[in-house]
Amino acid sequence: MSLLDVRKVSQHFGSLIAVNGVSLTVEPGELRAIIGPNGAGKTTFFNLISGFFPPTSGTIVFGGADVTALPAHKRVAMGMARTFQITEIFPELTVRENLRIPVEVAAGLRLRPWLSRSADGEIRARIGELMDMSGLTAKADRMVGELAHGDQRATEIMMSLALKPRLLLLDEPTAGMGDQETYDITRLIRRLHREQKLTIVLIEHDMRVIFHLADRIMVLAEGSVLDEGTADEIAKSERVQTAYLGKAA
């Protein structure tokens, strides 16, 4: 059974058709990419998958259940995690404190007045694991707001991962980053996919990131699917080169 099955979803904003009958099937363990020029409807498509608003038409099936009418928080509870184009972290808290929040939520221990020593130990161990995985250990006690953009993004990705999602949706995780940070985040995403077997759908505008990561790529343009295929197929697609590179160049 597919983990995610999006069937012909559309989103109209007044007379604008931001997403026009787009379908996407994601199998467990896959790393899928969505690319396309600015304004193609990529973020809106993510908003529909994650339940920000219901689609004008179409259906969304997640883990075998029709979630089309479910609000975002119910989808999160079912194992759908998402990061945004703008980083969502608590800048005044340290890396460790930021991670502690979703780790406690995942353990069902959030908002308990006190924790047993063993529960606290497990939570610390899990936070340590997440920091090791992402190379954040040396920055554990730094305020996240003071960190470089790439480390903030890594913290945010690990906060999503702490919730043990079945599906991770990443909207332009390398937006606004320099070459080194882009490389680091790309490497982190690849590790989460390969080592943690995490299923990921990634929106990205940086072609280099995509071609190093994704199993399959879907190209959106003006709300519609322009092409779909492996990295090699997309790299050779004339339709994609004309529409995508023509506008981005």
Q: Of 40-48, 124-132, 151-159, 231-239, which segment contacts ligand ADP by CB under 6 A? A: 40-48
Under a CB-based contact definition with an 8 Å cutoff, are residues 59 and 68 in contact? yes
Rounded CA separation 108/116 (Å): 13
Give the SS3 label for residue 36.
coil
By the rule CB under 5 A, 43 interacts with Mg ion: yes
- Cα–Cα separations (whole angstroms), residue 21 to 6, 40, 68, 169, 205: 10, 13, 14, 20, 22
> Under the criterion CB under 5 A, does residue 237 sit at the interface with Mg ion?
no
Short-list 79, 77, 74, 50, CA closest to 63: 79
- The closest residue (CB) to Mg ion is 43
In this chain, which stretch among 35-43, 135-143, 193-201, 212-220 interacts with Mg ion, using CB under 5 A? 35-43
Instruction: Compare residues 28 and 54 and give the one whose CB is closer to ligand ADP.
Output: 54
φ, ψ (nearest 5 deg) of residue 29? 90, -5
What are the CA-CA distances from residue 60 to residues 5, 25, 66, 225 (Å)? 6, 10, 6, 17
Residue 245 touches which member of ligand ADP, Mg ion, none, C-beta under 5-8 Å by kind: none
Radius of gyration for the alpha carbons in the chain, expressed in angstroms and rounded:
19
Q: Which of ligand ADP, Mg ion, none interacts with 55 (beta carbon under 5 to 8 A by kind)?
A: none
Binding of ligand ADP by 230 (CB under 6 A): no
| Alpha helices in 51-206, H assignment, sequence order | 72-77, 95-106, 117-134, 149-162, 179-194
By CB under 6 A, residue 226 contacts ligand ADP: no
Q: Which is nearer to ligand ADP, 53 or 230 (CB)?
A: 53
| The one segment of 42-50, 67-75, 116-124, 205-213 that binds Mg ion by CB under 5 A | 42-50
Task: For residue 43, state whether it binds ligand ADP (rule: CB under 6 A).
Answer: yes
Among 33, 40, 192, 198, which residue interacts with ligand ADP (rule: CB under 6 A)?
40
Residues in contact with ligand ADP by the rule CB under 6 A: 13, 16, 18, 36, 38-44
